[in-house]
Structure 1
Amino acid sequence: MSKKELENIYFKALKKVQADSIIKDNLVLKDNSLKIVDEIVDLKKIENLYILGVGKAAFAMAKACENILKQRINGGLVISTSKGKLKYLQHFTSTHPEVTNKSLKAATKLLKISSDMKKNDYFIFLLSGGASALIEKPIKGLSLKDFIKASNALLTSGIDIKALNTIRKSISQIKGGKLADQIKAKGKVLVLSDVIGDDLNIIGSAPMNNGKFSHSLIGNNKIALKEAKKYSKPFVEKVEIITTTLDKSSEEAAKYIKEKISFYDKKYKSFVLLFGGETTTVVKAKNGFGGRNQELALRLLLNKSINKKISILCAGSDGIDGKSDAAGAFIDFNLYSKIKEEKIDAKKFLLDSDSNTFFKKVGYDFVTGITGTNVMDFIIVLKKGEE
């Protein structure tokens, strides 16, 4: 199996969109001049500099900001899924993907600090995927209990993120630019995209996108996969980024990927095929463990997308795939004999929405821990040439 080669490609893509890289590339301090992407801020002309952040990558992004700005930071709040303390900023660990009381507490804290900022203050807002669940304040008349019930039903329904976030915005006091309405200070929003097409109206349910503040996209799936392509070129005959906007059900995606593999398999002795995007899946059983990447990997195994030379890694860039501790899963040809010998019914795990249990059982789950970034998913297909 080519686990190591697949891992190397994954981590090369990941590194390009991790917090240190994207913040260093877009935040430059020289004396009292702060360059934020394409904007210059004269720090002598502002009263206080705040850092605000929400999302799975917010903690790592904020830490990278602290390393550059240090004591020039006058305050701020960062809300993420990570655990840990920041030196100059408050950090609050909230929940994802479920909305909970912590989400409400986080939103209350963020609304308070946002509305307290003065006209002569300046803020940098770090937005990444996961913000939708991490902060929440339901519209008046809707209890948190009912909001959570509605959110959980949506999460397991199989609808895409665009539709999901549209509904979330309509029942929220913080999404869809409503947080920005509370802010008097000037500022800029730095965005790490976790949605297909990098639509600013969708990322994190757009808490700051009401036209008042400029948004700059500093990391996405395309940037990551370009780096993976560059890294893979010397090792195989052909490297191709097939898509960075994969937007299908896991069942349809598995058919699509199989077709692409079949096409390139006939033409090239060795290759790396790269797919980016986000599939959808309908959770059919409540007690199963897994996520869209592991389900996709299981479907690719069952539809016989692989042969003796081809192996695949399906994994989330954030390190967490649905209801599991894995980022995703590997598959290769050896798995067929393994499940036959051990009399494992792989199809039953799929029907039970229990892909993670299957991959743990066979030792093919891919565990990275929280990566500190989030640019959707990577599907990496590797065909090795003759040894």
Structure 2
Amino acid sequence: MTIDPKPFFEGLFRAAVAAADPKKTVRTHLPARPRGRTIVVGAGKGAAQMAQAFEEAWDGPIEGMVVTRYGYGAPTTRIEVVEAAHPVPDAAGREGARRLLQCVEGLTEDDLVVALVCGGGSALLPAPPPSLTLDDEIAVNEALLASGAPISAMNTVRKHLSAIKGGRLAAAAHPARVVSLIVSDIPGDNPALVSSGPTVPDPATRQDALAVIETWNLALPEAALRHLKSPQADAPKSDDPRFAGNEVHVIASAARSLEAAAAEAERHGVTPAILSDAMEGEAREVGQVHAAIAREVALRDRPFRKPVLILSGGETTVTIRGKGGRGGRNSEFLLALALGIEDVEGIAAFAADTDGIDGSEDNAGAFADHTTAARLRAAGCDPKALLATHDAWGAFNMLGDLFVPGPTGTNVNDLRAVLVR
């Protein structure tokens, strides 16, 4: 079997992203036109592209704004695009959150609010309650990002320390009808957890948020802890009458994108095997598990027969121990996997975030194979030491194996692919 791994993996990535393209998914979920105004609000790393797609598909008057990450904008004519910081919030995001709430003030039951929400909105919409400052919210985000907690746990905390998340944006729009179009980057696709659910409430309580803090030993600002222990932190409940008549649609997800990648593999004559679209856990440990499966296939033709493409999605985490290097969860996954498949020929791997950014650098992920660890040693580097200091970006940058597609305009979490030939 002759397949050049890098172009093959790039084709899988393109297929996965195309399956979540807002130009396709938004058009098929348009709500009925209202008697009154149509207000569009939204946030996330693909919010500008969603707004652009909505403008092209909607045949009536619209107004509104969305907030996206710096450098992730797209040209629009009627929906304003505001850029802010991600993954650590900034003042531009706070102003964007304030203006989104302003957009939905004074509406009537004849009006329609369309919320375009995808991953990244939790950081892009800092809206600390009166007892907290922006610096407090930044400190909370930094503690969460370094904790290793799963995204569902992180967003449970975030939505109870916000004036816009946890359904509060939709509550502010009452009595207008709110239709939320969600691109899910959450394992399990719970729409209330995407961007901490600005328009979708869920049953989680402030007691649940406090339990997350205790479980993950989070060091949060004293003001944040005081707020979580007060009734002011309570988020609207799912049975709140202000949400009656609202609609929520998950228009793209990791599951659908993995299926698209699987179909692309079949087109190349490779049998795909999807492990799960909702994997969580430490990136290096998930990498070790994938390496063990790939070794078993390569050496014993089980649990799958060669050639096979092993696929998985979801969102892993990286717990920073000490001072961390440059990297992200996908590159850390791959470096751990590379150590696990060393000297087992015929295995190549790829991992990338479908939004185009893995961590804080400009790459979405990277490529690896059974020679990765040896090539690092030949360059004078210890791959285990690089993994220990979370400098997987440095490792793959040195080898020229980073994957840098740029912003994709969507976000359905990570795509991990291991080819065993």
Alignment TM-score, normalising by the size of structure 1: 0.91
The 3-state SS of whatever aligns with 2:129 is coil
The 3-state SS of whatever aligns with 2:281 is coil
- 1:54 maps to 43
The 3-state SS of whatever aligns with 1:153 is helix
Q: Choose which of 185, 200, 209 in structure 1 pairs with 2:200.
A: 209
Structure 2 CA distance for aligned equivalents of residues 373 and 306 of structure 1: 36
Q: Answer yes or no: is the 8 Å Cα contact 1:23–1:65 preserved in 2.
A: yes
Unaligned runs of 5+ in 2: 202-237
Letter in 2 for 1:73: P
Q: Answer yes or no: is the 8 Å Cα contact 2:342–2:372 preserved in 1.
A: no
Q: Answer yes or no: is the 8 Å Cα contact 1:51–1:73 preserved in 2.
A: no
Query: Post-superposition shift, 1:264?
Result: 3.0
Match status 1:89 vs 2:92: no
- 2:16 maps to 13
**Cα separation, partners in 2 of 1:272 and 1:63, compared to 1, 3 Å:** same
The 3-state SS of whatever aligns with 1:195 is coil
Report which stretch shifted further, 198-207 or 260-269.
260-269
- 1:221 maps to 254
May I ask how many residue pairs the two structures share in their alignment?
A: 369
Q: What is the 5 A alignment of 1:178-197?
A: 178-183=168-173, 184-197=175-188
Match status 1:199 vs 2:190: yes
Q: What is the 5 A alignment of 1:320-359?
A: 320-359=357-396
The 3-state SS of whatever aligns with 1:202 is helix
The 3-state SS of whatever aligns with 1:187 is strand
Match status 1:108 vs 2:98: yes
Structure 1 CA distance for aligned equivalents of residues 258 and 143 of structure 2: 32
Structure 2 CA distance for aligned equivalents of residues 90 and 341 of structure 1: 51
Match status 1:313 vs 2:350: yes
Q: Choose which of 362, 377, 384 in structure 1 pairs with 2:399.
A: 362
Alignment TM-score, normalising by the size of structure 2: 0.84
Q: What is the 5 A alignment of 1:196-345?
A: 196-210=187-201, 211=238, 212=243, 213-265=246-298, 266-267=300-301, 268-286=305-323, 288-304=325-341, 307-345=344-382
Flag as ranges the 4+ runs of structure 1 deviating above 3 A. Answer: none
Query: Post-superposition shift, 1:216?
Result: 0.7
Structure 1 CA distance for aligned equivalents of residues 322 and 89 of structure 2: 20
Structure 1 CA distance for aligned equivalents of residues 324 and 332 of structure 2: 15
Letter in 2 for 1:154: L
Letter in 2 for 1:248: G
The 3-state SS of whatever aligns with 1:198 is coil
Query: Post-superposition shift, 1:187?
Result: 2.6
1:16-55 CA distance string (max 9 Å, x none): 112112123333xxxxxxxx3xxxx2x3x51212221211
Quick one: percent identity of the two aligned structures?
A: 30
Q: What is the 5 A alignment of 1:11-50?
A: 11-27=14-30, 36=31, 41=32, 43=33, 46-50=35-39
Letter in 2 for 1:221: A
- 2:52 maps to 63
- 1:128 maps to 118
The 3-state SS of whatever aligns with 2:192 is coil
- 1:371 maps to 408
- 1:75 maps to 63
The 3-state SS of whatever aligns with 2:357 is coil
Structure 2 CA distance for aligned equivalents of residues 314 and 118 of structure 1: 46
Letter in 1 for 2:38: L
Query: Post-superposition shift, 1:201?
Result: 2.4
Letter in 2 for 1:79: V
Structure 2 CA distance for aligned equivalents of residues 47 and 370 of structure 1: 35
- 2:228 maps to none
Q: Answer yes or no: is the 8 Å Cα contact 1:13–1:225 preserved in 2.
A: yes
Structure 1 CA distance for aligned equivalents of residues 288 and 24 of structure 2: 35
Query: Post-superposition shift, 1:207?
Result: 1.0
Unaligned runs of 5+ in 1: 28-35
- 2:141 maps to 151
Letter in 2 for 1:16: A
1:124-150 CA distance string (max 9 Å, x none): 111111111111211221121122112
1:167-215 CA distance string (max 9 Å, x none): 1111111111111111131131111100011112211111111441221
Q: Answer yes or no: is the 8 Å Cα contact 2:49–2:74 preserved in 1.
A: no
Query: Post-superposition shift, 1:338?
Result: 2.1
Q: Answer yes or no: is the 8 Å Cα contact 1:12–1:228 preserved in 2.
A: yes
CA RMSD, 1 decimal = 1.7
Structure 1 CA distance for aligned equivalents of residues 11 and 382 of structure 2: 31
Letter in 1 for 2:107: M
Q: Answer yes or no: is the 8 Å Cα contact 1:10–1:380 preserved in 2.
A: no
Structure 2 CA distance for aligned equivalents of residues 243 and 343 of structure 1: 36
Structure 2 CA distance for aligned equivalents of residues 305 and 188 of structure 1: 50
**Cα separation, partners in 2 of 1:84 and 1:19, compared to 1, 3 Å:** closer
- 1:167 maps to 157
The 3-state SS of whatever aligns with 1:315 is strand
Query: Post-superposition shift, 1:237?
Result: 4.8
Structure 1 CA distance for aligned equivalents of residues 145 and 191 of structure 2: 21
Query: Post-superposition shift, 1:12?
Result: 0.8
